[in-house]
Structure 1
Amino acid sequence: MQPEWRTAYAMSFSASLILHAKPPSVLPNETTKLGNAPVSDSSKRYPSRRETLGGMAAFGSAAAAIGAEKSQAASGPKQNETAFKGKVGETFDESTPDYLPHRKKDPSQPNIVAIMVDDVGYSDFGCYGSEIRTPAIDRLSTNGLQFTNFRTTGVCSATRACFLTGLNNHSAGIGWLTYEDSGYPGYRGRLASNAPTIAEALNDAGYRSYLSGKWHVNSAESSTSAGPFENWPAQRGFHRSFWFQGHSTDFFRPMNFFEGNESITVGEDFYATHDISGKALGYVKDHMAVQPDAPFFLYIAHPATHSPLQAPAGSIARQRGRYDRGWDIIREERFNLQKELGIIPAGTKLPDPNPGILPWSELEPERQRLYARYMEIYAAMVEEIDATIGELQVTLDELGILDNTIIVLFSDNGGSPDGGLLGSANLLSGRIGGMSLEQCLDMFDDIGGPDSYPMYPAGWAAASNTPYRLYKHDSHLGGVADPLIVHWPKRTASEEKLRPHYLHTIDLYPTLLEAAGVQPLETIRGMKAKPLHGRSALATLKDADSPEIRTEQHFEMEGSRALYSDSWRLVSKSRDPHAADGWELFNVTEDINETNDLSGKHPEIAARLVERWEELARKYDVFPIDSRSGRRKSMAAFLSGGTRSEWVFHPPVSVLLPEAAPELIGRSNNIEFSITPYEAQDEGVLFAYGNMFCGRVLYIRDGTLFHELALRPHSIIDSVSIPEGTQHITIIQHLTKRPWKGRYDILFDGKRAYRQHHDRLLFSRAMQGLQIGANHGVPVSSSYQHAFAYSGTIRQARFHLDTTPYTEKEIEYLLKPPFTSGR
């Protein structure tokens, strides 16, 4: 007879299969199950992009794929190749063999599954006080342990670096994100090469390591099909990997996924949460089929709930009306439930609303309707994660390994304020003043689907972070306090499920190593390995009365600084290290959510902790503090002009991801295509940069050459008839006042056929990179469908960019556009 929870999950997944418009797409020769309903279709496959463009052959069998990825990965468990002890004669009959020893699995070694979710706030799971339905996650908590004082770094790349290396994020090389190498040890934008990953450490002891999901610890410029590869998952210990590099991905039609070191195109029924989980389960099933005597480490890094907020239509529909009450009531209800659950002390006070957050009752009805829709999508994304976690539990139980598998579930930072106070149906439109309420309402039915790039308003992020203040990007607890659940039935059976012990992300690495009986690596790639900064909390898992392992931890993110020391928490009031307004001081034993600033009452304590913070900052590569705005930092490489002005392509070529592609918006450039003589029937995309949410495209249709600059719902279209026999097409973007004003010239065979001036160009960060000869993924223009590949032949495409750095005056002009959309 099935355990009761297994029966419940089987029923819930069967219902989910009926309610979803489409099941998750599946991988070659694999079976993906939603509850008891298997879905198998060998026709749905992940071809390489080169195959799509007429290049390399299709992937082979799953076994061949395993072999190919192993050849790219770290060497795995070492064999004892000591001196030969046998006898070598001229024939086998005259010789004595000496076999290499085979590593036997230690029965006490657990399998390890680490699940990291993205931008999920402290209160977004049911067991942490949410109204969002998360039965699978709640089951993990009920049968495991739930931590109430777990801390991260405030942004995704930095927390991932902490988890993967066991080091404070600056010491691991990632003081912020991965846009660029800022020139200092703590801000390289990639993992330090002398910092072994947890996968590398576990592999050395016989584990097999797998990754599915978001990587985002690799430098932007190395995110190309030609590498360099030394910091990719396959080279950092993951034997098999299905992953993407950037901070975000389109959930339905991404163009940034890799398998091992190979760029791939996903299937038509793709939804990131489903397919990342499906791939992960496929890795586990393959592993148990062929290597059941070896333990495994599986890292599932979900991009949900990072923007864009996108979910299956049926999942969104199931949330309808649940958030009409608004963020004030939701926040208060979560706060009260947290008290009932014992997550926070009964005497805790709910902080005042974060600055700028309006009471829900003061919003006009249409704005309430729109904002409720954003939160419905967010809740749907969380529920989709929960469904995959339920399926993971079922799968591990069916394989007979659930009891001796450690499942660690946590978020990378607090709820995100990136949507601003108003949210948007297209987050990328913020650079031109955003979208008006009317424009968003016109898109209402599309919001959350594949033709939108939405983000909820900060009022919902504040509710996500209940009971704490502020958000992601901050060192206040709203940015760094996150859920952590540990499930390991074989070792964590305890009546007391809540753990108030203070843990930081860096502590997970040594905890998991000790649970596996593995020592940290002393050397890596011929270098002395950095010693771990984290401390093992294994005793905490076993005993609720175990002592604290961590009584001090420093924080710095985008200039926001903090120090936890015993009962005290010191937090900077601003991001400017030279600001006169100084620091706040809180006694977090009595005031867990930073509501009562005691810096005036205890200036001597504040001064001592400031001095200690500075000591730790020097020790852990925090200096120099980069207090530039996030927008200024994210655009630093663009503003500096980069180092490459010439790009030449001979199609077919793989997509260039946005981090590594030439910047075709906001800079003057000449683009020239050499084609076979144009004929009247020729049509299709010559180049596509970005997508409809921000992009630029040049295509031919019905004898007309179209150039479109898109930033949904806005677009600028230039067009001109193209003569038959044309062999050279040139489009010149000349900016007269960067980035907002300029003109376009179109030339056929060197002769100008068109010129148009524009006083209000569109500008933002394109998120889908550059494609030549087609527009796969999300289209730039609504004027065509599918890839709309060019039917003629492109012999060569040449791009010349103006790489002149932006002046300070131009930067000010860019950051404060001369127009808004009247939001």
Structure 2
Amino acid sequence: MAIPFHHRLFATVALLAGAYTTQAQHSPVPAFTGTVGKTLAETTAGNTQFNPAAKPGAPNIVYILLDDVGFGASSAFGGLVDTPIFDSLANNGLRYTNFHTTAICSPTRASLLTGRNHHSVNVNTVIDAAVDAPGHNGYIPFEKGTIAEIARENGYNTFAVGKWHVTPTPDISPAGPFNRWPTGRGFDHFYGFLAGETDQYTPQLWENTVKIEPDLHGKHLTTVLVDKAIEYIAGQKTAAPDKPFFLYLTPGATHGPHQVDKQWIDKYKGRFDGGWDKYREEVLAHQKQLGLVPANTTLPVRNSGVKAWDSLSAVEKKVFARFFEAYAGFLSHTDYEVGRLIHYLQEINQLNNTLVVLIIGDNGASKEGGLTGHAFGINEYIDGSVYTEKYEDRIAAINKVYDLIGSSKSGPNYPAGWAQAANTPFRYLKQDANSEGGTRNPLILFYPDGIKERGIRTQYSHVNSVTPTVIDIAHLTVPDVINGYRQDSLEGVSLAYTIANEKASDKHHVQYYEISGSRAVYKDGWKAEVYHQTGTPFTNDTWELYNLQDDFNEQHNLAATQPDKLKELQNLFDEQANKYNVYPLLGDTQGRDFSKLTKGPFDRRKQAILYPGVTQLPTRAAPFLYQHSFSIKADVEITDTRNEGVLLAAGGRFTGFTFYVQNGKLTVAHNNNGKLVYLTSDKPIAKGKAILRYDLTYIPAKNLTDEAGTESLYINDVKVAERKITKADATILPYDEGLDVGRDNASPVSPNYQTPFTFTGILHKIIVDHVIP
């Protein structure tokens, strides 16, 4: 169905899982070296090795990938957020200061896992916005194996814990297939979430391919993830103490929502009252002292729209400082939890023989809080509220919930001024694939038994280089065939050559970047780049040119004075783009044409039939309810006039939609970033069989507050309520929580009931009919 798809849908989708399945290892029948007699007594065993065995002394391998952190946030790279564990790993290992990601989460993760460029593995942007074209469809080829598949073929146990975010939309259904879930791409176990973010206190979690509804008992998700990682390691080391493991630990930190226990926020009370301008100055000074940036580095101007801190009102300063206190507490808490894992490895005498790869951020700091920040969840960014609502109104609304910012009752992300501060000393942010601010992140290698060198390495590198580096350091063999698929070559350049020689010449000479039309190409210290504004023609783009050897943080555009060099690099980008399937570029239209996306399980159907028991079906794996006309019918039996409960709910306490029965009346509620609007029937529901219906008739509108049609309630085809709706009411696109049938799991869409508010009558099915003009 031709439903427009909003260009800022960078929300990812987790999903309901089926039974636990896993891809088999490549295991051809081994030759038998014994003798076979007619009886067992006459038979000599062959001592056959059926499973791959690791080389003696093979190290454990741990990838730790954080989210949306920024180059200048952690104290390990000069930031003002205390990260003593990261500091210790860096001080006892190697810091890489010229390491780059792709500028956004799914592509970085796909590149990290495979050792290849992100378009080479079909992950051009966040996975649920994949487009049905080569290089863009979201399906990582089996011919491009993951580090987990390689490690398992080398005799390792493999565990993925935390954020995944690279399973394509069409596969995120209870029907699978599950071969591109973590357990299908080389991991023996998975415990985590499939989306780009999740609530830290009411998360959407899966273990292997089974949806779980864990009671976290008040624990923070990062704590639970580290507990699970330790549990996996403990079981493995008990059963096979000589067998190494590969752990891929990817907490949700510090992606929004910035939620953490109060004591971590209180730790930073007043620490950032000086504001983002002072923060940048102090961090740059620290970075120079640590030798992380050239001594002549200066700060770039503030990013567009960011005000001087001293020009802010008292209320702006108050709420903005609170946002960063919550963020800092979240990052410090993450450091503490990583420390628990490190200390556990030490306790079981495994730390010295463990290669730890710590990447502090999968892209630059996040711009998704807009200029004001947001307190009610990612949908304020997705639906455009952070851009379209009045600045003063947003500040006033945030101030009203000041005491909740950072708690489980808020869904915060900081304003763009703090994002640039966390990115010190760079300009621009996450998603800006053209800039160092979008792509430069801290990398730390720590391996006591294998890396004796200490210090800083400045050689150019990219996230596609991590897996080749680990393969070299751990002496892994890359099989020619994995799971029956002949393997293509790796594309990253191993950093092993830098370990013993801090002055070694760069070996990674060329690298392209591209996210949603913003793009760049690097060659031997030179970089050509262009920022693309979504919704504008590419012919409007203006290329820039920088010599990063002399201009570390891109302040001196040489395009006008070096036109030949610029042309050379533009031609190189075109060459790289053709080689790695970068074309077609995205971002030439404001909306991403729905018909061109890879299709989810309901996207080709005008009607969807849902049954009770469906829970937390992610947005892109569920019937699409976004900005179009549709009808929901609940086939029920009212066995008692006191029957109540949810018929269908999508989303949670920050954003969502719920259709339910309460006090004998049929009700629908829209939660628009914490603002609730209701429609309730004017008549009670009688006992007996009934069709309870909700109709939304959508008329396209420009602004979220504009009138955009009507919604109506029916009991057995009798209209019992109607009202006019706004575009915001029709913008049903919940991000952190999915769709439930017959109940509302996790957090409630409406505060008028408590979850799960299971329907106490008999619900046979829900029918969703999409009205196509």
Q: TM-score, normalised by structure 1?
A: 0.86
Instruction: Specify the code of the residue in structure 1 equivalent to 2:559.
Output: S
Alpha-carbon offset, residue 676 of structure 1: 2.1
Residue 276 of structure 1 is matched in structure 2 by 225
Q: Does 1:415 align with 2:365?
A: yes
What one-letter code is carried by the residue in structure 2 that aligns with 1:265? Answer: E
1:644 counterpart residue number: 605
CA drift of 1:84 comes to 5.5
Q: Which position in structure 2 is the counterpart of 1:14?
A: none
- Report the CA distance shift for 1:181/1:336 in structure 2 as closer, same or farther (over 3 A): closer
Partner letter of residue 595 of structure 1? Answer: Q
Alignment of 1:540-555 (within 5 A): 540-555=498-513
Q: Secondary structure at the match of 2:37?
A: coil
Residue number in structure 2 paired with 1:770 = 739
Aligned amino acid, residue 685 of structure 1 = V
Partner of residue 264, structure 1: 212
Q: Distance in 1 between matches of 2:136 and 2:53?
A: 41
The reply on whether 1:537 has 2:485 as its aligned counterpart is no
Tell me whether 1:288 sits opposite 2:237 in the alignment: yes
- Residues 82-121 of structure 1 correspond to what in structure 2 (within 5 A)? 82-83=31-32, 85-89=34-38, 91-101=39-49, 104-121=53-70
Q: Deviations over 1:716-742 (max 9, x none)?
A: 101123233142233332324136522
The AA in structure 1 aligned to 2:372 is L
Report the AA paired with residue 644 of structure 1.
R
The CA distance in 2 between the partners of 1:185 and 1:638, in whole Å, is: 11
Paired AA for residue 643 in structure 1: R
1:739-750 matches, within 5 Å, as 740-750=707-717
Partner of residue 446, structure 1: 404
Unaligned runs of at least 5 residues, structure 1: 1-47, 51-55, 57-67, 805-823
Distance 2:34 2:72 in 1: 61
Specify which of 437, 450, 455 is matched with residue 491 of structure 1: 450
Give the letter aligned to residue 606 of structure 1.
Answer: L
Task: Check if 1:158 corresponds to 2:107.
Answer: yes
User: How far apart are 1:181 and its partner, in Å?
Assistant: 4.0
**Does structure 2 conserve the Cα–Cα contact (< 8 Å) formed by 1:424 and 1:457?**
yes
Name the CA distance, whole Å, in 1 between partners of 2:537 and 2:578: 14
Q: Distance in 1 between matches of 2:624 and 2:767?
A: 14
Q: Is the CA contact 2:276–2:418 (under 8 Å) kept in the aligned structure 1?
A: yes
| More displaced stretch, 755-764 vs 399-408 | 755-764
Q: Deviations over 1:89-140 (max 9, x none)?
A: 1x32233332313765433311100000011101111021111110001000
Instruction: Name the aligned partner's letter for residue 580 of structure 2.
Output: Y
> Is 1:562 matched with 2:562?
no
**1:403 paired residue number:** 352
Asked if 1 retains the 8 angstrom alpha-carbon contact of 2:372 and 2:394, the reply is no
C-alpha separation between the residues in 1 aligned to 2:169 and 2:260? 27
For 1:594, the equivalent position in structure 2 comes to 554
Q: How far off is 1:466 after superposition? A: 0.7
Q: Which amino acid in structure 2 is aligned with residue 592 of structure 1?
A: F
| 1:751 corresponds to 2:718 | yes
Q: Alignment partner of 2:127: what SS?
A: coil
Distance 1:756 1:542, change over 3 A: same
Aligned-residue offset at 1:468: 0.9
Separation in 2, partners of 1:634, 1:295: 45
Quickly say closer, same or farther: Cα 1:760–1:498, change in 2 above 3 A. closer
> Within 5 A, what are the aligned runs for 1:163-202?
163-202=112-151
Is the Cα contact below 8 Å between 2:16 and 2:174 reproduced in 1? no
AA at the equivalent of 1:794? L
Task: Give, in angstroms, the shift of residue 624 of structure 1.
Answer: 1.3
C-alpha distance in 2, partners of 1:624/1:375? 38
User: Could you say if the C-alpha distance between residues 635 and 707 of structure 1 is closer, same or farther in structure 2, counting changes exceeding 3 Å?
Assistant: farther
Which segment is superposed worse, 741-750 or 244-253? 741-750
Distance 1:399 1:83, change over 3 A: same
| 1:104 and 1:293 in contact (8 A); partners too | no
Q: Normalized against structure 2, the TM-score is what? A: 0.91
| RCO higher in structure (CA 8 A, sep ≥6) | 2
Counterpart for residue 369 of structure 1: 318
User: How many residues align structurally?
Assistant: 736
Q: Does the 8 Å contact 1:583/1:599 carry over to 2?
A: yes
TM-aligned CA deviation for residue 186 of structure 1: 1.1
Q: 2:199 aligns with which of 246, 250, 255?
A: 250
Answer yes or no: is 1:615 the counterpart of 2:575. Answer: yes
What's the CA shift for 1:228?
A: 1.9
Equivalent in the alignment of 1:328: 277
1:474-485 equivalences under 5 Å are: 474=432, 475-485=434-444
Distance 1:547 1:97, change over 3 A: same
SS of the residue 2:764 aligns to: strand
Counterparts in 2 of 1:375-394, with a 5 A limit?
A: 375-394=324-343
Alpha-carbon separation, structure 1, partners of 2:593 and 2:341: 38
SS in 2 for 1:756: strand
Note if 1:662 corresponds to 2:623: yes
Residue by residue over 1:117-175, the C-alpha shift from the partner in whole angstroms, topping out at 9 and shown as x without a partner, is 01110111102111111000100001111011001100000000111111100011111
Tell me which residue corresponds to 1:585. 545
| 1:571 alignment counterpart | 529
The corresponding residue for 1:812 is none
Residue identity over aligned pairs, in percent, reads 31
The answer to whether 1:729 aligns with 2:691 is yes
Range 627-636 or range 691-700, more displaced = 627-636
Alpha-carbon distance between aligned partners in 2 of 1:596 and 1:181, rounded to the nearest angstrom:
35
* Equivalent residue in structure 1 for 2:380, among 409, 429, 440: 429
Counterpart amino acid of 1:162? S
Alignment check: 8 A CA contact 2:54 2:154 kept: no
Alpha-carbon distance in 1 for matches of 2:761, 2:278: 59
* Aligned-pair CA distance for 1:465: 0.8
**Secondary structure of the equivalent of 1:323?**
coil
Instruction: For residue 760 of structure 1, report the CA deviation from its aligned partner.
Output: 5.7
Cα pair 2:672 2:728 within 8 Å, conserved: no
Per-residue CA shift, 1:474-530, capped at 9, x if unaligned? 120000000001100112222x41111111111111111122222223234443322
Which secondary structure state, in structure 1, belongs to the residue aligned with residue 573 of structure 2?
helix
Contact 2:103 2:438 (8 Å CA) reproduced? yes
User: Deviations 1:328-353 (Å, cap 9, x if unpaired)?
Assistant: 10011101110111001111111111
Q: 1:322 to 1:598 in 2, by over 3 A?
A: same
Q: Relative to structure 1, is the Cα distance of residues 633 and 303 closer, same or farther in structure 2, using a 3 angstrom cutoff?
A: farther
Equivalent position amino acid for 1:621 in 2: N
